[in-house]
Every structure is written in structure tokens, then in C-alpha cells.
Amino acid sequence: MTAGSGLVETIGGPIDADVLGRTLLHEHVLLVEPELDANYPGWFDEDSEVRDAQHQLRRLKEAGIDTLVDLTVLGLGRNVDLVRRAAEGSGLNIVVATGIYTMDELPPFFRRRGPGRLMGGDDPLEAFLVRDIVQGIAETGVKAGVIKCATGERGVTDDVDRVLRATATAHLRTGAPISTHTDAGTFRGHDQQRILGSEGVDLGRVLIGHSGDSEDLGYLTELMDAGSYIGMDRFGMDTILPTENRCRVVAELVKRGYASRIVLSHDTNCYTVNWEKDVRERVLPDWHHRFISEYVLGRLGELGVSPDDIDQMMRVNPRSFLAGAPSRTEVAA
């Protein structure tokens, strides 16, 4: 899975990047709450939710998606074993991620350990990220194919800075690409590019996530001109920005020649304890894994996006991002 090797780690083992096919780069499968379950059981029916996720993932494959990247990391309720069960029989490739999701402070476990900290020793953050990529996650044998980090509205706090730099180190040691969560409204992608770049990361190996929440074309083109991919990755999350606006921004950027730097996704999930299903269906009816296949791609076509550009955003760019291979445009140039 290292840069340029042509292999990508998935939940079923390494696969050739050429078979990734149409890929959703920022999604989730099951977001669980082990502490809640241990103390207040009854909210999460594991067997029934895994079965439901299996059903959803099969339908996603039938809708024409071949690979899903699950960016559920520490802080979001990662459980790779459940994801593996959910993926069984779906025919879908699932790439999982390592990383720490915090917008502000790290858990005390990390705050107190590492060079210059109360307990001293090596930075466990770096060690955990690298372990997930090189050795595998817990005892599952599944290796992470992506490193995720986050910067929220509060910006680069001390701990967020530490996470971004540990992410950079783990990337440089392993070659795994970096995918981020940002608050697009406060232009946090710039902070991430600055810090990751200062650590020596090639920004072409970085995907600035949730960029699709913004309609600021200046901000979006700056991120891409600096070399990164942008994630137009919350289709269906209409409470933040309606689908039609999201589609129009993508169509305009493609018209300006940026198709080789854009990827499309939903940032949705098969299960999360944070939503009651009936409320979710009422408030965000389009926020499911098949929405891009069933609606968005057609709408982009109506707005003038060509089948070649769709292929570039749905297949070529994810392949280049995950495997480190040059994109079509880079080859042409």
C-alpha cells in the first residue's frame, strides 16, 4: 500500500489498485459507542445492525460502487471486526483508516504520554498510527490504507497541531495517504496544508475533506492549486448545503479544468448511535450511500459534466489518491 506500489490494503487483504473501480473516499459503516454499550446496554443491537449494514452494502455494490473508504477512526467509534462482518458477501472492497479524531483536546491517555509529557516515552500517537498501517488493527490483521485527521471550527489547538504532525510523520514513514475532516466555513483546509506541508508532506497525497460544504470557489481552487484533492463529500447532507448547490459548485470547478483534483462522497454511514432512524429519514432523506449513484451523477451530467470527468472523479482520482499513482492529467502534462 505504499506510494506507487499499485497495491491497496482492504478489509479482505491487499488488492491491485486497478480493481478499485468506482470509489467513495469518505464514508462510514458502523459508528459504535463501546462505553455507552458497556454501561447502558440496549441502544445497539449488534446482530441486527450488522445484518442491516450487510443489506445496505450489497445494494451499494448493485448501484455501481466497487470500493468504499471507511474513515471511522479513534474518537468516532471504530470497530473493524464489525465492519468486516458487515462487508461479507457484498463484493465491495472496504478500505479502513487509522487516525485520531479530535477538534480540540486529545484524551488524557495521549496528553500525558510522549516526549516532554508527564509519563515521557515515545509518542504513542505516532506508534499507534504506524502500527495500524504496518502491522494491522488490533488482532484483525486488517491494515489501514489511509490516515485521517481533523481540524474543526476552533482551529489549530495545541492537540490538533500535535495530531496533524503525528499524521505527517506516520505518512512519511508508511506512504499511506492523508484524508482530513475540515470546517470549510472557517477555511481550515489552509491550516492543514500549511502544517502538513511544513512537515515535508507532498500535498498531492492529501485529500482536504468536507470541502463540498463550501461554495467559495476562491478557497476551493486555492486548495487544489496547492496540489491537494478536495472532497465534495457530503452529498445528501442538505442541512449544511443543499444538493443542488453542491452539484453546481462541482460542475463549475470541472468547467474550470479541476476534474483531476475532485472526489465525490457522502460522509454517511450504515449505522450510528447518534441518529434515531425515523428522525434521520425525515431530516436527511438523501443522506445514504447510494445517493451519488442514483441521483448526483445524473444531475452533474445535466449540468454539463462529461462521462470522462465523472470517471476521473469517481475512479481515476480515488485510485491515484489511494495508490499514489499519477492521475491522467499529470500523465498528460
Instruction: Confirm if 219 and 189 have CB atoms less than 8 A apart.
Output: yes
Residue 320: CB atoms within 10 A of its CB come to 24
Q: Where does this chain touch Zn ion (CB under 5 A) — which range of 62-70, 198-206, 267-275, 295-303?
A: 267-275
N-terminal to C-terminal alpha carbon distance within the chain: 25
Q: Does 267 bind Zn ion (CB under 5 A)?
A: yes
Q: Would strands 23-27 and 67-70 be described as parallel, antiparallel, or unpaired?
A: parallel
Nearer to Zn ion, 267 or 309 (CB): 267
Q: Where does this chain touch Zn ion (CB under 5 A) — which range of 90-98, 200-208, 214-222, 260-268?
A: 260-268
Minimum distance, C-beta of residue 68 to Zn ion, in the bound complex (Å): 12
x/- mask, Zn ion, residues 216-255, rule CB under 5 A, reads ----------------------------------------
Nearer to Zn ion, 49 or 267 (CB): 267
Q: Where does this chain touch Zn ion (CB under 5 A) — which range of 99-107, 147-155, 197-205, 262-270?
A: 262-270
Q: Where does this chain touch Zn ion (CB under 5 A) — which range of 39-47, 77-85, 159-167, 263-271?
A: 263-271
Q: Does 126 bind Zn ion (CB under 5 A)?
A: no
DSSP assignment, residue 75? T
Burial environment of residue 229 by CB neighbours within 10 A (0 to 12, 13 to 18, 19 or more):
buried
Q: Which amino acid is present at 69?
A: V
Q: Where does this chain touch Zn ion (CB under 5 A) — which range of 44-52, 151-159, 259-267, 278-286?
A: 259-267
Nearer to Zn ion, 191 or 267 (CB): 267
Nearer to Zn ion, 113 or 188 (CB): 188
CA 184, 187, 189, 191 dihedral sign is negative
Instruction: Confirm if 83 and 94 have CB atoms less than 8 A apart.
Output: yes
Nearer to Zn ion, 75 or 124 (CB): 75
CA 278 – CA 19 distance, rounded (Å): 36
Nearer to Zn ion, 209 or 324 (CB): 209
19-38: which residues touch Zn ion (CB under 5 A)?
none
Instruction: Confirm if 113 and 101 have CB atoms less than 8 A apart.
Output: no
Each residue of 103-119: b (16+ CB within 10 Å) or e?
A: beebeeebeebbeeeee
x/- mask, Zn ion, residues 131-170, rule CB under 5 A, reads ----------------------------------------
CA 316 – CA 60 distance, rounded (Å): 19
Phi, psi of 176 (to 5 degrees): -65, 135
Nearer to Zn ion, 132 or 267 (CB): 267
Instruction: State the residue number with the nearest CB to Zn ion.
Output: 267
Q: Which amino acid is present at 21?
A: G
Q: Does 213 bind Zn ion (CB under 5 A)?
A: no
- State the residues that interact with Zn ion by CB under 5 A: 267
